[in-house]
Chain A
Amino acid sequence: MEAAIPAVIFLAFILMLSIFLGFELISKVPSTLHTPLMSGSNAISGITLVGALLTSGSGEDQLSIILGTLAVAFATINVVGGYMVTNRMLAMFKKKDQVKK
């Protein structure tokens, strides 16, 4: 039996492949959509909320609970605000035949 491979190696694999995937997905976005793309991907970066939830919900001492709860609040601003504002922008993009005269 070989020695157990540390978890960080698996995480590094995930990191590498996701970065590659990110490059591939974004390089095809037309410049018309750059603003919504930016605010939409910005909302995804609010995924740190998941980390904040775990930190806030399992904190034992006062300081880490306070820090965790603040992290939850700021990450939620990022997530909720980011997705809503992106949706608001994208709802305005219309084709010629969709625009009411």
Chain B
Amino acid sequence: MSLWIQVAYIVAALLFASGLKLLSSPATARRGNLLSALGMLLAVAATLFTQGLSFQWIAVGVLAGAIIGATAARVVAMTAMPEMVALFNGSGGLASLLVGWAEFVRGQQDMQASLAVPILLAVLIGGVTFTGSVMAWAKLQDMTIGRFKLGPALVYPGQQVINSIILLGIIACAVLLLMAPPAGGNFLLIIIGISLLLGFLTVIPIGGADMPVVISLLNSYSGLAACAAGFVIENNILIVAGSLVGASGIILTKIMCKAMNRSLGNVLFSGFGSAASKKGKAAEGEAKPISAEDTYYILEAASSVAVVPGYGLAVAQAQHVVKELGDLLEANGAEVRYAIHPVAGRMPGHMNVLLAEADVPYDSLIEMDDINPIMETIDVCLVIGANDVVNPAAREDETSPIYGMPIIDVDKAKTVIVSKRSMATGFAGVQNPLFFKDNTRMFFGDAKASWQEVVSEFKSG
């Protein structure tokens, strides 16, 4: 391979690293993303100078991929971002699987272990990433097959035994393939099949609420798959970029787990949120409903307001009306903050994107650790479509499954207004004693419609 291509790869690696670095501040993040895209362009362009490449099929593939990718990126709603990222991620994983497979076909005649091992890894990790991501997407969509709901955690007896058998099967096929490389093609096909199955089966037992963790873990896998593909074709830019992504995915996964006070093993294997794991004290008392008009009176008198959004806000597409309300409150002299729990929504940082879409400046968004100490000074806390992340049982009830999870202490505010469609439990399937506290009022209804009413009260009043 020519020296200049390698030089271009070095520059591309530098661009990827500085791009990721600039992503660490909202002010420079956009530039960071462009730098990283430039690095990608450079790496791809340099690769095309490789001698002896024929371009006709490359052109077909690039054109098809670019049209699909660009269209999807343009039309996707911000509320559906977790699904979109899962699908993009899955297609990256599938690409690594295909590269491994194609290289196996090409080198089948004199297959060495040093080539076969990374091929197996690329195929295995790529396959798990692909079907795992598709499954995550289906869960995020709350898809149903017949009367079969995919969204919640699905736990079946012997689950871990089956997964272990599958893993053993992969290892057995890999050993057989390495022992008889030239004729090992059929074993590779079996491994591809099993890897795809494994991706489905590992994500099935994980509930929709844990998807932030799953998506960031799969993101890490797709990087590792690219890395393995890099070892297959002995290409260093694949290894650099792939491991940057692999490492970043693992860090994010760790942050998510910490925000839920659970170990990664617990997220992956416990079937959290399935019917079997419901326990904890039943919360008792009477919830006190409130009307839009009374909500208006309370807010009108408030001098500090904190908004705590959750996935319900995304479902109801209520981000714009919430921002409108925030503006009215500010015009009324109140200080308005938006407090974001690190795992609110179905993707880390999802709420921040939605509020940014509604033109809420990012310096009005406050992290959990910064809002909790001043919660007692807040007059009204509006909980919009959030449930588990504001559940005081995490602090008070040792028998609760979510005990120990860091929460936003909304119950310490002077008044809490919970905007919710019904009294139903959140994804964790745990009762929320917040709803029965003396300072809590329940504002029932679709988030968008309900707050629209409050906004019109403000405008007319």
What's the minimum C-beta distance from A61 to chain B, rounded to whole angstroms? 7
Q: Closest residue of chain B to A82, judged by CB? A: B88
Q: Which residues of B contact A25 (CB under 8 A)?
A: 17, 20-21, 24, 244, 248
Task: State which residues 51-86 of A face B: CB under 8 Å.
Answer: 51-61, 63-65, 67-86
In the complex, which of the residues A26, A27, A81 contacts B69, with contact meaning CB atoms closer than 8 Å? A81
Q: Report whether B36 and A18 are in contact in the complex, using a CB–CB cutoff of 8 Å.
A: no
Q: Which of B15-43 contact A (CB under 8 A)?
A: 16-17, 19-21, 23-27, 29-30, 32-34, 36-37, 40, 43
| B229-244, CB < 8 A from A | 229-244
Centre residue among B216, B231, B239 by max chain A CB count within 10 A: B239
Which residues of chain B have C-beta atoms less than 8 A from A43's C-beta?
Answer: 36-37, 40, 88
B91 part of interface (Cβ distance < 8 Å): yes
Q: Taking the nearest CB of chain A, how far is it from the CB of B275, in angstroms?
A: 30
Q: A residues within 8 A CB of B105?
A: 61, 63-64, 67
Contact B92 A42 (CB under 8 A): yes
Of B66, B241, B349, the residue contacting A37 (CB under 8 A) is B349
Identify the interface centre among B36, B114, B225, B350: most chain A CB within 10 Å of its CB: B36
Chain A interface residue count, CB cutoff 8 Å, equals 86
The docked-state distance in angstroms from the alpha carbon of A63 to that of B57 is 13
Rounded to whole angstroms, the CA-CA distance of A47 and B64 in the bound complex is 17
Contact with A along B66-87 (1 / 0, CB 8 A): 1011101110101001001100
B347 touches A48 (CB 8 A): no
The binding surface of chain A is classed by DSSP as helix
Q: Flag if B248 contacts A41 (CB, 8 Å).
A: yes
Q: In the bound complex, do residue B58 and residue A53 qualify as a contact, i.e. CB atoms below 8 Å apart? A: yes
Q: Does A1 contact B (CB under 8 A)?
A: no
B88 engages A81 (CB within 8 Å): yes
- CB-CB < 8 A to A30: which residues of B? 24-26, 367
Q: Are A77 and B72 in touch, CB under 8 angstroms?
A: yes
* Residue ID in chain A nearest B117 by CB atoms: A8
Tell me which residues across on chain B come within 8 A of A51, comparing CB atoms: 96, 99, 226, 229-230, 232-233, 235, 238
Tell whether, in the assembled complex, residue B235 and residue A45 are in contact, meaning their CB atoms are under 8 Å apart. Answer: no
B52 touches A89 (CB 8 A): no
Q: Contact between B239 and A15 (Cβ–Cβ < 8 Å)? A: yes
Residue contact A88 to B73, C-beta cutoff 8 Å: yes
Judge whether A14 is part of the interface by a CB distance below 8 angstroms.
yes
Known A-B contacts A37-B252, A47-B226, A75-B95; A90 and B361 likewise in contact (beta carbons under 8 Å): no
Interchain CB contact under 8 A, A35 and B347: yes
In the bound complex, do residue B95 and residue A52 qualify as a contact, i.e. CB atoms below 8 Å apart? yes
Q: Tell me if A3 is interfacial: C-beta within 8 Å of chain B.
A: no
Q: Which residues of B contact A63 (CB under 8 A)?
A: 102, 105
- Assess whether B352 is in contact with A33, with CB atoms less than 8 Å apart: yes
* Contact flag A89-B65 (CB < 8 Å), given A26-B20, A41-B244, A42-B222: no
B357 CB within 8 Å of chain A: yes
Across the interface, A49 reaches (CB within 8 A) one of B36, B44, B55, namely: B44
Residues of A within 8 A of B237 (CB): 47, 50
Which of B32, B81, B240, B251 is close to A89, meaning CB atoms less than 8 Å apart? Answer: B81
CA–CA, A74 and B23, complex, Å: 25
Minimum C-beta distance from A52 to chain B (A):
5
**CA of A82 to CA of B225 in the docked complex: distance in angstroms?**
17
Tell me the minimal C-beta distance from B232 to chain A in angstroms.
7
Q: Is the CB of B64 within 8 A of A76?
A: yes
* Residues of chain A with a CB closer than 8 A to B64's CB: 73, 76
Are A71 and B363 within 8 A (Cβ)?
no
Distance from A18 Cβ to chain B, minimum over Cβ atoms (Å): 4
**A12–chain B nearest beta-carbon distance, Å:** 9
Q: When the two chains form their complex, are residues B94 and A38 in contact, meaning their CB atoms are under 8 A apart?
A: no
Q: List 22 A-B contacts (CB under 8 A).
A: A8-B231, A8-B234, A22-B245, A32-B349, A32-B367, A36-B23, A37-B349, A38-B219, A39-B81, A64-B106, A67-B105, A68-B98, A73-B60, A75-B91, A78-B222, A80-B66, A82-B88, A82-B92, A83-B33, A90-B33, A92-B78, A92-B359
A contacts, CB < 8 Å to B: 6-8, 10-11, 14-15, 18-23, 25-61, 63-65, 67-96, 98-100
Apart from the given pairs A47-B238, A90-B30, 10 other A-B contacts in the complex at a CB distance below 8 Å? A25-B21, A35-B348, A40-B33, A45-B225, A54-B47, A67-B105, A75-B92, A76-B69, A79-B65, A93-B30
